[in-house]
Amino acid sequence: MPASQSAPSISDDIGLHPPKYRLPASTHVGRVRLAVSSLGQSIAFYSRVIGLFVLRQEPRFAQLGARGSDEVLLELEEMAEVTPITRRSRLGLYHTAFLLPSREDLSSFVRHLAAQGMQFGAGDHIYSEALYLTDPDGLSVEVYVDRPKKDWQYEGREIVSATNPVRFETLPPVAEDSWQGAPAGTTIGHLHFYIGDLKQAAAFYNAGLGLDIVTWRYPGALFTSAGGYHHHVGLNVWAAGSPSATSEDARLLFWEMVLPTEQERERALQNLLEGGFARVESAYGNPSVVDPWGITVSLVVRAEAEPSLESSGV
């Protein structure tokens, strides 16, 4: 795909906009909760390998975040019936993507993985440089850093994406012991899902939830976002034909879409309900809606009080 060198002037010039409700530019991904087979093994992976810090822990439940922050990024819920999955065997979560603040942090993370002898994949997506790992339950994890927006490439209204080799030799030099865990400012930048049909996915995430489709010519995938970001939610049919994750599988229990005001949350919810999508009860009393493959998005207005640690039962 040939790419232009200049970015559209404002986010309104980027992407295919929803026909009715469009999410505010400040919308972003919040916490993610996973069902896991062994809390101990999962905590060990997400803390020792990914670098998250345990904020709170109960016998079958834990909350993790970045260094020096009380913000919960990841919740792990151990469920007795859950077993690990294999690659592309279930529709649902493809990966949870942790966004680091800088290329120096990514360079430190690479050194950390090498010191631990961890195997990982990598991809340069033009707008970001990313590493890929697999957790103990077969769920993928991405750790990445964004390039400056001025360096992203566009073709018309579309953000150009690719999967090129990461040039590790260009990463900034850092000390061998520079990785001290996920640094302050680490967030969940996006999520990526295996889904069964791109048109159905667009009906839910674009027409229903209100995300822009910002990349649509990457093979077998759509990338959607608010505010001109390269993607808050990736959607692909690379596992199409597989069943949706069940209560016996390691899986995503829910993820949060964080909106700036109660009014915007009500508008997003109403738009989804008018589209025929089902509302469900989810953690912490937030209104939640399920996509065609059983993926639950919880609509959240941040600046709420931190909830109790009790398991949600979702």
Query: In order of start, what are the domains of the chain with their CATH numbers?
Result: 11-301 (3.10.180.10)
Of 283, 249, 254, 265, which is closest to residue 86 (Cα–Cα)? 249
**Percentage of the residues of the chain whose pLDDT score is greater than 90:** 89
User: Which residues make Cβ contacts (< 8 Å) with residue 274, sequence separation at least 6?
Assistant: none
Residues 167, 50, 146, 92, Cα dihedral to 10°: 110
CB 198 within 8 A of CB 222: yes
d(CA 268, CA 210): 7
Q: What's the mean pLDDT when you consider all of the chain?
A: 93
Does residue 8 register a pLDDT over 80?
A: no
How much is the pLDDT for 152?
97
**Burial class of 17 by CB neighbour count within 10 A (0 to 12, 13 to 18, 19+):** middle
Strand 28-36 relative to strand 74-78, pairing: parallel
How much is the pLDDT for 303?
61
How much is the pLDDT for 283?
74
Strand partners, 223: 215, 234
How much is the pLDDT for 16?
97
Tens-place pLDDT, residues 178-204: 999 999 999 999 999 999 999 999 999
- Helix residue ranges, H only, 197-250: 198-202
Length of the chain: 314
Tens-place pLDDT, residues 25-83: 999 999 999 999 999 999 999 999 999 999 999 999 999 999 999 999 999 999 999 99
The count of C-alpha atoms lying within 13 angstroms of the C-alpha of 289, restricted to the half-sphere facing its C-beta, is 22
Tens-place pLDDT, residues 290-303: 999 999 999 999 86
